[in-house]
Amino acid sequence: MGYSARRGFTNGKASGAQRQAEMQQRIAEMQAAMTSAQENVEAQEFTASVGGGVVEAKVNGKKEVLSVTIKPEAVDPDDVEMLQDLVVTAVNEALRQAGDAMEKGMESVTGSLNLGAFGL
């Protein structure tokens, strides 16, 4: 164990303050990587098609609906409920794809860390 006027007594290991500074640096780097991953996913578009392609929904990574395309053969005035169901299904599938992409993007940054323990 040595003594330094600046560092006090040391045993060759990093001090508590040094370890805390290193941890804060790692956290800042992880936050930057998470922000980058989130922005990357938010810029993507996700498309889902249902009913043999008669209804298509497109959303972005922010989970905003960009468009819904309905082919004329899907429009049956006597069965509006089926068309409504197809639209809902297509939108939900596109949103699920966007959510999965965001989850995978975050996993690539955090690895197997259990951030729930930190309230994240």
Give me the residue spans of the domains in the chain.
Answer: 9-111
CATH number of 9-111: 3.30.1310.10
pTM tops 0.85? no
Burial 11-34 (b: 16+ CB within 10 A, else e): eeeeeeeeeeeeeeeeeeeeeeeb
By the 10 Å C-beta count (0-12 exposed, 13-18 middle, 19+ buried), 1 is classed as: exposed
pLDDT in tens, the chain (120 residues): 566 666 666 665 667 888 899 999 988 988 998 999 999 999 999 999 999 999 999 999 999 999 999 999 999 999 999 999 999 999 999 999 999 999 998 888 877 565 555 555
